[in-house]
């Protein structure tokens, strides 16, 4: 009976087109028999070094050089090499069969690894890593795309430039300007601010504005109770001072909520987790549960806030530095954004020096510089005594993959803390913001012009 492994090795040795397509996806551990693994490793090693397929003679010579084989093992593997012959199998069938075999082996190995972790036999990985291991195994497949050909793929690139991207717009003019119309799906967006400046207020305001757009919003809180977050959003949407909400009669409150429900088709779900107890795995499970029980799929996710999440990669008690830990959390959340095809909005604290600064930078990010390295958009919320008197808060761009971060690097928005609301300021408020360090001068010398004039487009 012909084994799949033998079919794969036959084609690896005699079919160069097949080998170059499948070799990046094959792993030595996929092969159960040691002799299969040895032949695969020798073929792979030779192709990598000499950029062509070995012959049977070459394989036998290379195997003879190995000092890690017993006489019996050497006899078995040379016998296997001699049995390999060219085949005339259908090319598509061979590729599909190889891909299916890789998937089956990847899943099997992932299950075995998960059992070891569950039994406590792996000291480095916690049970929280199991979903990620299984997810990686399930995603195994042959992706033949190896890059964008600048010339040949120019038509596809032109279509991409004119493709209307799905965005979640703000109700704040300057935030839409710096993000080219709003937050894109599959992105991680971070607000940096000190304690009490307005991180949660910002997220509650944006959540409320997105709800009014008729979109579904998921707000995950690890800092405040669900009711406290809902109270802030009530103040924003019902146009009531937060301290007066408890004084509203039930009939008036119900009327306001009914009127609000008539304005939007969206839903807002607020879910609380204990501080530092929940990680990306819990959030994925929540998304599945909401889909099954409430037919709810969010268009945007808020996580309040990133630094007090857990990581699915590291055990809670493991001795790991804050840089690696917070960076892992950021990468996992961005991965969740990609998997769920939504933008994720979260926040982080400033350092002690950043808290007192009126001009914070990326280096003022607390605990880990790995966070700004992962984020797509990062901006600081800055509150000063002068701005508080004007009911304003300063926004400074720190990192921006949507747009040029030197454009509108600083701007102000109005803030109504009693109603947990942000609003656009008059243009005169923006005109007062001047920072010479933000001015970027472009060299327009005759020499520079001459270089570009040489190209006739």
Q: Is residue 372 a contact partner of residue 216, using CB atoms and an 8 Å limit?
A: no
Ordered structural domains, the chain, with CATH: 4-138 (1.10.860.10), 167-438 (3.40.50.300)
Residue 353: predicted pLDDT: 64
Cα separations in angstroms, 196 against 172, 303, 381, 383, 417: 21, 17, 11, 9, 11
Q: State the average pLDDT for the chain.
A: 87
Strands lying side by side in the sheet with 392-400: 268-272, 217-221, 300-304, 344-349, 188-193, 377-382, 392-400, 410-416, 421-424
Residue 142: predicted pLDDT: 77
Q: Is the pLDDT of residue 237 over 90?
A: yes
Number of Cβ within a 10 Å radius of residue 15:
18
Residue 179: predicted pLDDT: 95
How many CA atoms are closer than 13 Å to the CA of 159, on its beta-carbon side?
A: 4
Q: Is the pLDDT of residue 384 over 70?
A: yes
- What is the tens place of the pLDDT at every residue in 114-141? 999 998 888 778 888 888 888 888 878 7
Q: Is residue 407 a contact partner of residue 178, using CB atoms and an 8 Å limit?
A: yes
Q: Confidence band (pLDDT; 50, 70, 90) for 436?
A: very low
d(CA 424, CA 173): 7
Indicate the SS3 state at residue 73: helix
Instruction: Identify the weakest region by mean pLDDT among 46-55, 62-71, 314-323.
Output: 314-323
Residue 357: predicted pLDDT: 67
Average pLDDT over residues 224-236: 94
In 125-172, alpha helices (H)? 130-138, 154-161
Q: Percentage of the chain surpassing pLDDT 90?
A: 58
Q: What is the DSSP letter of 84?
A: -
How many CA atoms are closer than 13 Å to the CA of 302, on its beta-carbon side?
A: 29
Find out whether the peptide bond into 305 is cis, omega within 30 degrees of 0.
yes
Q: Confidence band (pLDDT; 50, 70, 90) for 311?
A: confident
d(CA 235, CA 421): 8
Average pLDDT over residues 254-265: 93
- What is the tens place of the pLDDT at every residue in 402-413? 999 989 999 999
Q: Confidence band (pLDDT; 50, 70, 90) for 352?
A: low
Q: Is the pLDDT of residue 453 over 80?
A: no
Indicate the SS3 state at residue 341: coil
Average pLDDT over residues 223-230: 93
Average pLDDT over residues 65-82: 90
Q: Confidence band (pLDDT; 50, 70, 90) for 249?
A: very high
Average pLDDT over residues 321-327: 83
- What is the tens place of the pLDDT at every residue in 149-163? 888 888 888 888 877
Antiparallel, parallel or unpaired: β 183-184 and 167-168: antiparallel
Q: Is the pLDDT of residue 354 over 80?
A: no
């Amino acid at each position: 009976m012909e084994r799949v492994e033998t079919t794969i090795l036959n084609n690896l040795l005699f079919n160069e087109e097949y080998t170059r397509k499948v070799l990046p996806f094959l792993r030595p551990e996929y092969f159960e028999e040691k002799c299969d693994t040895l032949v695969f490793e020798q073929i792979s090693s030779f192709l990598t070094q000499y950029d062509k397929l070995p012959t049977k003679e070459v394989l036998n010579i290379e195997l003879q050089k190995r000092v890690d084989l017993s006489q019996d093992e050497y006899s078995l593997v040379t016998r296997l090499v001699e049995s390999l012959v060219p085949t005339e199998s259908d090319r598509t069938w061979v590729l599909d069969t190889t891909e299916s075999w890789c998937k089956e082996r990847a899943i099997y190995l992932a299950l075995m690894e998960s059992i070891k972790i569950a039994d406590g036999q792996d000291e480095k990985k916690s049970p929280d890593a199991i979903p990620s291991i299984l997810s990686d195994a399930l995603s195994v497949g042959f992706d033949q795309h190896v890059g964008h050909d600048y010339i040949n793929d120019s038509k596809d690139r032109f279509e991409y430039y004119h493709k209307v991207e799905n965005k979640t717009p703000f109700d704040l003019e300057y935030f839409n300007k710096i993000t080219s119309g709003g937050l894109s799906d599959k992105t991680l967006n971070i607000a940096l601010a000190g304690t009490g400046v307005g991180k949660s207020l910002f997220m509650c305001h944006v959540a409320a504005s997105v709800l009014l757009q008729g979109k579904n919003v998921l707000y995950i809180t690890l800092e405040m109770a669900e009711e406290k977050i809902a109270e802030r959003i009530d103040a924003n949407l019902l146009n009531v001072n937060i301290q007066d909400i408890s004084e509203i009669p039930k009939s008036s409150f119900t009327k306001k909520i009914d009127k609000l429900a008539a304005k939007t088709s969206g839903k807002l779900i607020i879910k609380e987790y204990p501080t530092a107890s929940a990680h990306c795995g819990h959030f994925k499970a929540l998304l599945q549960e909401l889909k099954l029980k409430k037919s709810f799929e969010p268009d945007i996710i808020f996580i309040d806030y990133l630094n007090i999440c857990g990581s699915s990669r590291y055990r809670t008690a493991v001795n790991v530095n804050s840089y690696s830990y917070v960076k892992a959390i950021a990468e996992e959340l961005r991965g969740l954004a990609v998997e769920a095809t939504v933008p994720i909005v979260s926040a982080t604290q400033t350092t002690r020096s950043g808290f007192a600064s009126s001009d914070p930078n990326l280096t003022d990010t607390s605990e880990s510089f790995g966070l700004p390295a992962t984020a797509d958009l990062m901006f600081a919320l800055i509150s000063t005594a002068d701005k508080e008197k004007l009911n304003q808060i300063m926004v400074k761009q720190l990192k921006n993959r949507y747009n040029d971060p030197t454009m509108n690097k600083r701007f102000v928005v109005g803030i109504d803390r009693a109603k947990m609301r942000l609003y656009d300021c008059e243009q005169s408020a923006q005109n007062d913001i001047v920072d010479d360090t933000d001015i970027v001068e472009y060299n327009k010398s005759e020499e520079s012009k001459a270089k570009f004039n040489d190209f006739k487009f």
